[in-house]
């Protein structure tokens, strides 16, 4: 199997002139209900350009909903979400454009089963961004090379391992040249031996300066790649901390309790 290589996966997020450290994703007083259930409660969160934020918390705490809200896959009831200085519109062409700024990788790989690996990566740029097929193919092959699966380009998703499929999903998201990448438990459906290869690709991406929001319980990754850990419980951000502090010396009782359960697994 080809290993993900160590070369740069992207140009720094945001393109030329974009300065690290500026606010890129800004959530202000975001609230969301599912019927009676208050799933996001006054969420205030700023992710700066080039920052890697790991979101951690118990099942049902609202982590996926938060990601889906940032990508407008879920509408919110109250508050605002801005990407690179622009409020997310409700709908229309502008929404499609802003959504393309946000790449998303889910737990399940969500590749198009009846398309080749290469077509999975070229389809978005060709259909949604009007990139010429020959150019889309060159870019896709370069991305597949960088995530270590270029030799699988002609195959179909079912012919690849879970780890390979997830790396294709990352390449597919990157092909849209997003400003920020969201990962929702990208390794939790994988066999242990495949987790590392996906985390290595994500670590390389972080090192290249991609802005990332990553829902994961992989502490090794958080320690290595995260600038900040956000701990969510019952729809709220309960604690924000450096990875080192969070894992060794969490401030909140709820985080302490959660971590003790995670560690005793
Ligand atoms: N479409 C929906 N309709 C109704 N309730 C929902 C919907 N999606 C999520 N919920 C509920 O909202 C709450 C938050 O769910 P969410 O999926 O964001 O949690 P999570 O932190 O990602 O959990 P997990 O760790 O299990 O993935 C949960 O109580 C969930 O049951
Ligand atoms: Mg979830």
Nearest CA to ligand 1 atom 3: 34
Ligand 1 neighbours by CB, cut-off 6 Å: 34, 37, 39, 57, 59-65
23-34, strands of its sheet edge to edge: 37-48, 23-34, 78-83, 86-87
Residue with CA closest to ligand 1 atom 25? 59
Q: Which atom of ligand 1 is nearest to the CA of 66?
A: 18
Q: Which of 62, 258, 262 to mutate to test the pocket of ligand 1 (most atoms within 8 A of CB)?
A: 62
Q: Which residue has the tokens 């407008």?
A: 72
Three-state secondary-structure class, residue 116: coil
Give the residue, by CA position, lying nearest to ligand 1 atom 4: 34
Residue nearest to atom 10 of ligand 1 (CA): 34
Q: How far is the CA of 115 from the centre of ligand 1 (A)?
A: 30
- The two tokens of residue 98 are 């802003």
- Considering Cα of 132, then 134, then 138, then 143, what sign does the dihedral take? positive
pLDDT of residue 108: 87
The residue count for the chain: 265
The helix (run of H) or strand (run of E) holding residue 175 is helix 162-175
How many Cβ atoms from other residues are within 10 Å of residue 22's Cβ? 13
pLDDT in 10s for each residue of the chain, 265 residues: 444 444 455 554 444 446 778 999 999 999 999 999 999 999 999 999 999 999 999 999 999 999 999 988 899 999 999 999 988 776 667 777 777 899 999 988 789 999 999 999 999 999 988 999 999 999 999 999 999 999 999 999 999 999 999 999 999 999 999 999 999 999 999 998 899 999 999 999 999 999 999 999 999 999 999 999 999 999 999 999 999 999 999 999 999 999 998 877 6
pLDDT of residue 16: 43
pLDDT of residue 224: 92
Cβ atoms of residues 128 and 176 within 8 Å: yes
CA of 131 to the centre of ligand 1 (A): 36
Place of tokens 């697994």: 265
- The pLDDT assigned to 7 comes to 45
**Ligand 1 centre from 64 Cα, in Å?**
7
Q: Note the pLDDT tens digit of each residue in 234-258.
A: 999 999 999 999 999 999 999 999 9
Ligand found nearest the CA of 63:
1
126/26 Cα distance (integer angstroms): 29
Nearest residue CA, atom 11 of ligand 1?
60
**Residue 184 and residue 45: Cα distance in Å, rounded?**
17
């Amino acid at each position: 199997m080809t290993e993900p290589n160590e070369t740069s996966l992207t140009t720094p997020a945001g393109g030329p002139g974009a300065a690290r450290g500026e606010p890129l994703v800004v959530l202000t007083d975001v609230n969301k209900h599912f019927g009676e259930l208050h799933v996001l409660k006054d969420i205030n969160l700023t992710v700066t350009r080039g920052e890697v934020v790991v979101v951690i918390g118990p099942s049902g705490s609202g982590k996926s909903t938060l990601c889906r809200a940032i990508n407008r896959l879920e509408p919110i009831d109250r508050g605002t979400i801005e990407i690179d200085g622009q409020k997310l519109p409700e709908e229309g062409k502008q929404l499609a454009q802003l959504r393309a700024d946000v790449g998303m990788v889910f737990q399940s790989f969500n590749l198009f089963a009846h398309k080749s690996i290469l077509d999975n990566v070229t389809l978005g740029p060709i259909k949604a961004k009007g990139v010429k097929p020959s150019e889309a193919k060159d870019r896709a092959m370069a991305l597949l090379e960088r995530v270590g699966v270029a030799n699988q380009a002609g195959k179909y998703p079912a012919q690849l391992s879970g780890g390979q499929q997830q790396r294709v999903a990352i390449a597919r998201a990157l092909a849209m040249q997003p400003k920020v990448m969201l990962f929702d438990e990208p390794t939790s459906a994988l066999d242990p031996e495949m987790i590392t290869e996906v985390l290595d690709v994500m670590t390389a991406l972080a090192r290249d300066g991609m802005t990332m929001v990553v829902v994961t319980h992989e502490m090794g990754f958080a320690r290595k790649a995260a600038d900040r850990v956000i701990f969510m419980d019952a729809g709220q951000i309960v604690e924000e901390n450096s990875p080192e502090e969070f894992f060794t010396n969490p401030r909140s009782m709820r985080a302490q309790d959660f971590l003790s359960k995670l560690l005793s697994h």
